[in-house]
Amino acid sequence: MPADAQISRLKPRRTDIRRENERTILDAAEKVFAEAGFGGATMQLIADMAGLPKANLHYYFATKEDLYRRVVQQIFEIWLDAAMLFDDAPGPVEGIGGYIDAKMDISRTHPYGSKVWASEVMHGAPVIQDYLETTLRDWTEGRIRAIQRWIDEGKMRPVNPRHLLYMLWATTQHYADFGHQIQTLNNDRPLSDRQWLEAKASVKDLVLRGIGAI
Amino acid sequence: MPADAQISRLKPRRTDIRRENERTILDAAEKVFAEAGFGGATMQLIADMAGLPKANLHYYFATKEDLYRRVVQQIFEIWLDAAMLFDDAPGPVEGIGGYIDAKMDISRTHPYGSKVWASEVMHGAPVIQDYLETTLRDWTEGRIRAIQRWIDEGKMRPVNPRHLLYMLWATTQHYADFGHQIQTLNNDRPLSDRQWLEAKASVKDLVLRGIGAI
DNA sequence: TTTTATGTTGACCGGTTGGTCAGGTTGTGG
DNA sequence: CCACAACCTGACCAACCGGTCAACATAAAA
C-alpha cells in the first residue's frame, strides 16, 4: 500500500461515493430546477448536467419530488444559518445591517437556490408548506419581537416590523431572483465585486436610514 | 329586430366573439402559468379553466409559447402605464410615493401576471429578452435621470438611483410574488383592506425616509 | 477466496403532452 | 336566400417523460 493512501485514494470508499454523488446530483438539480422550473426540469437534463446516467439518479433519489424537496430544504437552512446574526446584535445597525450583508452574500453565492425557493413559494409552496407554518412562522415572530425591542429602546423609529422584514427579504433576494434582469440593465455584464459592494452599501444605507437607525 | 338589439344581442357579433374568447383564454392562461409555471402548465388545464375545448385554444393561439408571450406582454404594459406617474411628479414624495402606491395596487389586482413575469425573468427571460434590452433599459435610464435631478435639486439625499429602483421593484412585487408566504405568516388569511393600506404606508414611509424626502 | 451488499446502467414501458386535422356549425356580406 | 369566411371540436398522433428492472461491476466483509 502506497504511503499517500490516506490522502489520495485511487479507489474511493463506499461512504465517499454516496456523499459525492449525492452532492453532484443536488448541485446539478439546483441549477436545472432554477433555470427550468420544476415542471420544465427533466431527470434527463439533471443527469446530463451531473454527468451521470438517468437511472443512477433514481438510485439515490427515489422520485423527482424527493430530489426537489432536498434542494429546497438546502437553501432554507442556509438562510436560517445567516439569520443567527440577528439575535446576538445589540442594535439594528449591527443586527439588520449584518443580516442584509449576509443575505446579499447568499444571493451572490447561491442564486440558484434562491430562485428555486421563490418558484416554490410562487406556486403555493406545495412541498414546503409545513416549513412555512412552523419554522418560518416561529422565526418571524421572534425577529419581530427583537425589532420591537429595539424600537422600545429608542434605537430606531417605530416602523411596522413585519413589513420591514418583507422589505429585507424582497430586496436582498431580488439580486438573486432577478439577477438576469439586473445583468441586462448592467450592459449584459454580471455585477463586479465593486458593484456588489455598492449594492450592499446602498441597500443598507436606504434601510438603516429608513428606520432611523443612522 | 327588437328595440334593445344594440345593448343586448343574443347572438354575438363576430368581432365580439374573437375579443371575448381571447380575453377568456388569456385570463385562464395567466392564472395557470402563474400557479404551475410554463413547464407545469398544460394546454388542457388552461382549456378547462377557460371552459373551452383544447383545440379551440389552438385556433386563437398557434402554440403554447404564443399564448405565454401574450400573457407576459400584458403585465409588462400594465406596469409601464403605472410608471407614467413618475414623470409628471414635481418631487420624490409625489413621484416615488405615487409609483409605490400604483405598483402595490397592481400587486393586489394582478398577482398572477406579476408571478408570470418573475418566473420568466428567473428562467433567463427566454421570450422577453428584447423587451429588457430596449423598453425596460430605456425606461430605467429615464427614471434614473429623473431621480438624479431630484437629488441635484436637493429634494432627496444622494442615493444610488439604480439600487433605489431595484428596491422599489423588489418590495412592491414581493407582495404579489410571495403573496402565499405573506398569507401564511398572516395566519393563513389574505391581507385585509386595512392591512393593504398598512403595507402601502409602511413601504412608502420606509423608502421616503430612506431617501430623505420626508 | 468466497460471499454479500452497494453501486451502475441500457433498455424498456405506460401515461401524458403539444399540436394537427377533417368535418361540422354559425354569422355575415351580397 | 346563397356562398363564403370565420369559428368550433372530437379524435388522433408522434414525441417525450418519470420511473422500473434485470443484469452486471465493484468494494467490503467473512
Q: Is A125 left (phi over 0), alpha (psi -120 to 50) or beta?
A: left
Residue with grid cell 410574488, as numbered in its chain: B177
**pLDDT on residue B83:** 87
**pLDDT on residue A84:** 84
A116 pLDDT higher than 70: yes
**pLDDT on residue A176:** 98
The residues close to strand D, meaning Cβ under 7 A, are A 11-14, 41-44, 54-55, 58, 62-65; B 14, 17-18, 21, 52-56, 58-60
More confident residue, A203 or B81: A203
CB A97 within 8 A of CB A204: yes
For the segment(s) A71-210, the CATH number from 1.10.630.10, 2.60.120.380, 3.40.50.720, 1.10.357.10 is 1.10.357.10
pLDDT tens, B32-72? 999 999 999 999 999 999 999 999 999 999 999 999 999 99
**pLDDT on residue B153:** 97
C-alpha pair distances (Å), A141 with each of A103, A144, A148, B143, B210: 19, 5, 10, 37, 25
B78 pLDDT higher than 60: yes
Select from B184, B37, B34 the least CA-distant residue to A131.
B184
Identify the CATH class of B70-210.
Answer: mainly alpha
CB A143 within 8 A of CB A161: yes
Chain A residues within an 8 Å CB radius of B202: 159-160, 163-164
**pLDDT on residue A87:** 78
**pLDDT on residue A120:** 98
Report residue B60 as a C-alpha cell. Answer: 386563437
Identify the CATH class of A13-62.
Answer: mainly alpha
- With 0-12 CB in 10 A as exposed, 13-18 as middle and 19+ as buried, what is A155? middle
A94 pLDDT higher than 50: yes
pLDDT tens, B87-134? 789 999 999 999 999 999 999 999 999 999 999 999 999 999 999 999
Strand C closer than 7 A to residue B163 Cβ: no
CB A161 within 8 A of CB A148: yes
pLDDT tens, A4-51? 333 344 456 667 899 999 999 999 999 999 999 999 999 999 999 999
Break chain B into its structural domains and give their ranges. Answer: 13-62, 70-210
pLDDT band at B209 (very low <50, low <70, confident <90, very high): very high
Q: B191 to chain A nearest CA, in Å?
A: 12
